């Protein structure tokens, strides 16, 4: 039997995200709608890889010369306080419109919203998965379809708490109840 809603081999499920995925599958099959889950649970070091990727992409590597050596928990001092070595770069990325979560819960270091505390990604907590993920040119279709089946299905209505069109990643982000 051909599957329509499928996953990349790199996807790491949690029981709560996998259950939602399983309940969604027959709806995709029914209308022969092919879609791909690109990411579910992520670890803090994977979030750091995303930050490093954008440092290169936005040419911030001239400002953060040893960024390739950063670890998730390595720290450095900024004036009198200790910060994570990636914390300033992550703050600057937010200012440049790259909306990503920090590797670990921390404060933003730049204005606007300086000192505001940001939580880890729901992906790190294992409560989210993405469909589309840059391989699909039109995640709007997935977004509409998932909204539609969420309305129809009692389980999905209860367990999907967020459906977000992430234009920068070209994917639909699905937040799942813990």
Does residue 41 belong to the site contacting Zn ion (CB under 5 A)?
no
- Return the residues of window 9-38 that contact Zn ion according to CB under 5 A: none
Report the alpha-carbon distance of residue 134 to residue 8 in Å, rounded.
13
- Considering only 14-22, 68-76, 128-136, 144-152, which stretch makes contact with Zn ion by CB under 5 A? 128-136
Stretch of residues binding Zn ion (CB under 5 A), selected from 24-32, 95-103, 123-131, 151-159: 123-131
To which residue do tokens 């950063």 refer?
Answer: 70
Task: Please choose, out of 46-54, 58-66, 90-98, 126-134, the segment that lies near Zn ion by the rule CB under 5 A.
Answer: 126-134
> What whole-number distance in Å separates Cα of residue 7 and Cα of residue 78?
42
CB 131 within 8 A of CB 21: no
Using CB under 5 A as the binding rule, whether residue 7 contacts Zn ion is answered as no
For the CB of residue 173, give the shortest distance to Zn ion in the complex, in Å.
Answer: 3
Q: Residues touching Zn ion: how many (CB under 5 A)?
A: 2
Contacts of Zn ion in 69-108 (CB under 5 A): none
Going along 24-86, which residue ranges are E strands? 35-39, 75-78, 81-84
Among the listed residues 35, 87, 173, 176, the single contact to Zn ion using CB under 5 A: 173
Angle at 70 between CA 66 and CA 75, to 5 degrees: 105
Instruction: Record the tokens describing residue 30, joined without a space.
Output: 């029914």
* Residue nearer to Zn ion on the CB measure, 11 or 109: 11
Place of tokens 């790190």: 124
Of 40 and 156, the one with the shorter C-beta distance to Zn ion is 40
Give the nearest distance from C-beta 59 to Zn ion in angstroms.
Answer: 25
DSSP, residue by residue, 119-141: PPPTTTTT-EEEE-TTS-S-HHH
Task: Report the alpha-carbon distance of residue 17 to residue 126 in Å, rounded.
Answer: 7
Regarding 130 and contact with Zn ion (CB under 5 A), the answer is yes
The residue among 38 and 91 lying less far from Zn ion, judged by its C-beta, is 38
Sites of contact with Zn ion (CB under 5 A): 130, 173
């Amino acid at each position: 039997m051909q599957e329509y809603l499928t996953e990349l081999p790199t996807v790491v499920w949690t029981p709560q995200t996998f259950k939602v995925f399983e309940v969604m599958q027959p709806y995709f099959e029914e209308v022969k709608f092919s879609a791909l889950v690109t990411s579910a649970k992520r670890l803090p070091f994977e979030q750091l890889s995303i930050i490093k990727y954008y440092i290169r992409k936005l040419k911030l590597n001239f400002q953060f010369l040893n960024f390739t050596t950063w670890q998730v928990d390595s720290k450095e001092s900024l004036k009198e306080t200790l910060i994570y070595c990636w914390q300033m770069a992550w703050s600057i990325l937010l200012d440049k419109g790259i909306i990503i979560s920090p590797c670990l819960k921390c404060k933003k270091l730049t204005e606007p919203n300086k000192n505001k505390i940001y939580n880890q990604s729901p992906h790190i907590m294992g409560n989210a998965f993405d469909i589309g993920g840059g391989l699909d040119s039109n995640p709007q279709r997935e977004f509409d379809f998932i909204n539609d089946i969420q309305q129809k299905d009692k389980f999905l209505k209860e367990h999907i708490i967020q459906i977000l069109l992430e234009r920068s990643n070209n994917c639909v982000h699905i937040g799942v109840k813990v």
